[in-house]
Amino acid sequence: MTRINDNGETLRLNRYLAQCGLGSRRKADELISTGHVYVNGKRVTEMGVKVLPGRDIIEYHGKQVKPIRNLVYYAYNKPVNVIVTKNDPQKRETVYDALKKKKIDVEHLNYVGRLDYNSEGLLLLTNDGDLIHSVTHPRFKIKKVYRVKIMRRLSSEEIDMLIGGIESDGQILHAASVRDVSQPASDRKQFWYEIELFEGKNRQIRRMMKELSVGISRLRRIQFGSVKLNNLVSGDIRTLTEKEVAALKNCGYKR
């Protein structure tokens, strides 16, 4: 393992970049591997490099980066037809476009997990790279809860399949629980289910339902870790409470 300096307390370069608001540690690893990060004037592309904050000069795209002192944490109710990315080649509205309209400073904000273009609901945003790492790394198994509106009732056998595991594109996808939460109706043509996940596979619920030949008309995330959507209106954003932030850190760091 390379050390830029061995005197004093060092940090892994990817963690330092995360603390500077450049994303999670995994995202920082991508930035390092593509050759955009310099330490003391030298390009760094290898993993595991350590730096000494306050002494080493770390640059990204030619600009020195320093840790963010004011950490912020938001819950956002993402509407449908808003894409979770910073830049979209197709010029669709991004979450950053939407937040700028609300006068939110998005310069160092990064999203926690993703929601696809046609999905809605709870999206967490923060400039705390360590928190992003702790709640998105697969080994931490953070609970996510979704409400899904589908076109027909699931059989008990299909529910067992969702929990037991469904193969899709070479992956076995599991739901932690599946619960019918539909309201009673005399002429029901669509059904609501609440699905809990501890995995974070891309488009996981849509892929599982596709394997069962079940159409989805609405998909909304209502909980991420300890944070719940509750009555937050679509398109609105709020600051997380200190209790919510502490609980998020606890559920990630303790696993």
Q: Can you tell me the distance from the alpha carbon of 77 to that of 183, in angstroms, rounded to the nearest whole number?
A: 23
Cα 45 from chain centroid (whole Å)? 25
Nearest of 113, 111, 108 to residue 127 by alpha carbon: 108
b vs e for 51-84, b when ≥16 Cβ sit within 10 Å of the residue's Cβ?
bbeeebebebeeeebeebeebbbbbbbbbeebbb
Which of these, 55, 109, 111, 49, lies nearest to 82 by C-alpha position? 111
HSE-up (13 A, CA, CB side) for residue 56? 28
Query: Is 187 annotated in the active site?
Result: no
Catalytic residue among 56, 97, 116, 130: 116
The helix or strand, by DSSP H or E, that contains position 160, with its residue range, turns out to be: helix 156-164
Give the residue numbers marked as catalytic.
116
